[in-house]
Amino acid sequence: MIASQPVAKRGLTLSGQLIINENRLPSKGSDPFYHGLTETRAMKYGINMLLWATDLNESHYPLLENIRNWGYDSVELPIFSYDLAHFRQIAAKLDELGLDRTAVAVNTPESNPISSSPSIRQAAVTNLKKSVDVCHAVGSRILCGPLHSAIGQSTAVGPTADEWKYAADTLIQVADHAQDAGVTLAVEYLNRFECYILTCMQDLIRFVREINHPHLRLMYDTFHANIEEKDITRAVRDCADLCVHVHIAENDRSTPGEGGVNWDATFAALKEVNYDGWMVIEAFGQSLPEMISSMKIYRKMFPNEEHLARHGLAFMKSRWEG
C-alpha cells in the first residue's frame, strides 16, 4: 500500500479539504493537483528524456547536469520499466541537481485498455498502476501520455461504445490508485494516424468530464493539435479548467520555433487562460531505434539534440516571458 496523505476517494483533496459538490469537477482552487500551486509563480520548463533515452541510468548523469546548466527546471521521465529502487536512485540524482520531474507512459497491444479481452485490459490496469508507483518513487506528481489506449492500433470502423467504456473503466481504477499516491493522470489525445480513440480535444474533454475524477485530468500537445484542431485558441480555452500539462512540440518533431506550428495563437491562448502547469518539450531523435517506427522519425529533423534542447528552451522563454 502506498503511504500518502489522508484522502477519501472523490471526496477529499490531498490536504484533507472536502469537495463540497462531488457531482461537478473541482475548480483549480479546490482541485488537489493545484492545492498549494495556485499562487503566482514563474513557468517551469522541462524536456522529455525520450530525446536521448528510453531508460535513464547512471550513464545519463552528465547529460542531466547539462540539462540543468542549460536552464531547465525539470525533466520528463519515460516509464518503460517498474524497478522502484532504480527510480529512487534517479530521484536522488535529480534532487542533487535541483531538477524537478514529470513522467510519461504508454500502452502496448499486450496491455491495451480498450481491448475486447478482459485479461489484456487487466494488464493495462496493472501496468498503469505500476507506472503510478514509479511516479511516487521518483517524485513525480504528473503521469502523462495516451493512457487511454495502445499506440499504433487502427480500425476500419472507429471507436465503439464498448471501447469508450473500457478506456473509462480502466482509467477510473488507475486514477483511484493515483489519488492514493498523490499523482495526477494527464491524459493525452493523439492524432488519428497514431490511434483511433480520443483524437481531438473535444473528445478528450468529454471523456475526462464523464469520468469526473479529481486525479484524472488532461494535457495539451502542440504536435497533435497542429494536425487535429481547426481552432487552436478554442481548443486551449475549452480545456483550460482541466489542463495540467503542456507538451511543446513542433509540427515535424524538430526544434520548437523552427517549424510550422502556429505559436502566436498557441502562446496567446495559454496566457489568456492563465495556464500555470508544466511546459515540456517533446521531441524524438533517430538515436533510439525503438522510437523510429512508433513515432515515424525516418529522417533527421534537427542538427543535434543539444541544439534542440538549448534553442527550444530559449524559444519557450522568449514566447512566454517576452
| 155-205 pLDDT per residue, tens | 878 899 999 999 999 999 999 999 999 999 999 999 898 888 999 999 999
Q: Where are the beta strands (DSSP E) in 20-99?
A: 44-48, 74-78
Residue 227, classed as helix, strand or coil, is: helix
When pLDDT is cut at 50, 70 and 90, the band that residue 291 belongs to is low
- Provide the pLDDT confidence category of residue 1 given band limits of 50, 70 and 90: very low
How high is the pLDDT of residue 299? Answer: 79
Retrieve residue 85's grid coordinates: 529502487
Condensed to tens digits (0 to 9), the pLDDT of residues 193-247 reads 888 899 999 999 999 999 999 999 999 999 999 999 999 999 999 999 999 999 9
pLDDT of residue 102: 98
Which sign does the torsion angle of CA 302, 305, 309, 310 carry? negative
288 or 92: whose pLDDT is higher? 92
What's the grid cell of residue 107? 500502452
Q: What is the pLDDT of residue 296?
A: 75
Q: What is the mean pLDDT of the chain?
A: 87
Bridge-based pairing of strands 100-104 and 216-221 is unpaired
Higher pLDDT, 305 or 290: 305
Report, as an integer, the average pLDDT of 33-59: 76
Residue 25: which residues within 8 A CB-CB, separation 6 or more?
Answer: 31, 209, 212, 214, 241, 242
Q: What does the angle CA 25 – CA 223 – CA 308 come to, to the nearest 5 degrees? A: 120
Q: Which three cell numbers stand for residue 268?
A: 496567446
d(CA 302, CA 282): 13
Is the pLDDT assigned to residue 258 strictly greater than 70?
yes
pLDDT at 286: 67
Q: Which domains does the chain have, with CATH numbers?
A: 44-321 (3.20.20.150)
Q: pLDDT band at residue 12, thresholds of 50, 70 and 90?
A: very low
